[in-house]
Amino acid sequence: MGQFIFTKCNIDGLYIIEPKCFGDNRGYFMETYNYEDFKNAGLSMTFVQDNQSMSRKGVLRGLHFQKKHPQGKLVRVLKGQVYDVAVDLRLGSKTYGKWQGVLLSDENKKQFYVPEGFAHGFLVLSDEAEFTYKCTDYYHPEEEGGILWNDPDLGIEWPISADMEITTSEKDKKLMSYQTYTSMQE
């Protein structure tokens, strides 16, 4: 019997994964990854690197991808709450340019699997958030790519509250538009 509920999203390849959590007066226990359970759900990827970050409310990281060494990512939140987004950049995909968002938190314990060929980013909604993810390939700094998080052609509906100030890195402020990215693929 598996320890996860795998829910396919409207965009092929994306999954929301809910681990079974066992709790009592001491706290809780859950598996966050099990190769056999994932394989039985059709997710037989191999992870080679784990990453973790901490960010404050209003920090928006993304939308990032690796050009020649694409990474699949299994993302989750250890503390706090984020809105996580994946944009389909797979050439020939019927959902090319479409996005999917999901609320991830330490309370709902949901995970999001983003396969190779997607841009990925997240917005921190809580005062701070600890975010972790497993990758299917190593990070190659020379292969970084990205699309502006607020590109109107993507139309991502970020849950930005009136009192939230968005903070991005200087690098992320200079990312290309979706239109520029698309023209480079032709």
Active-site residue identified among 15, 113, 133, 178: 133
Q: Two tokens at 18? A: 């809910």
Nearest-Å Rg of the Cα atoms of the chain is: 16
Which amino acid type is present at position 175?
Answer: L
Q: What pTM, to 2 d.p., does this model score?
A: 0.95
Domains of the chain: 45-185 (2.60.120.10)
HSE (side-chain half, CA atoms, 13 Å) at 51? 13
Our measurement of the distance from residue 23's CA atom to the centroid of its chain's CA atoms, rounded to an integer in Å, reads: 27
Confidence at residue 133, expressed as pLDDT on a 0 to 100 scale: 97
At residue 2, the pLDDT reads 79
What mean pLDDT, rounded, does the chain reach?
96
Which is the catalytic residue, given 64, 83, 113, 181? 64
pLDDT tens-place string over residues 149-174: 999 999 999 999 999 999 999 999 99
Sheet strands (E) in the chain: 4-8, 15-19, 22-24, 27-29, 49-56, 60-66, 73-79, 81-88, 99-105, 111-114, 118-124, 128-135, 144-146
pLDDT value at residue 9: 97
Residue type, 111: Q
pLDDT score, position 1: 57
The verdict on whether 133 is a catalytic residue reads yes
What's residue 186's pLDDT? Answer: 75
Block mean pLDDT (10 aa), the chain, length 186: 90 97 93 95 96 98 95 98 98 96 98 98 98 96 96 97 95 96 88
Q: How distant, in Å, are the alpha carbons of 35, 74, 86, 180 from that of 48?
A: 13, 12, 20, 31
Q: What is the pLDDT of residue 19?
A: 96
CA distance 130 to 50: 13
CA distance 40 to 168: 38
What is residue 27's three-state secondary structure?
strand
**Are 86 and 100 spatial neighbours (Cβ–Cβ below 8 Å)?**
yes
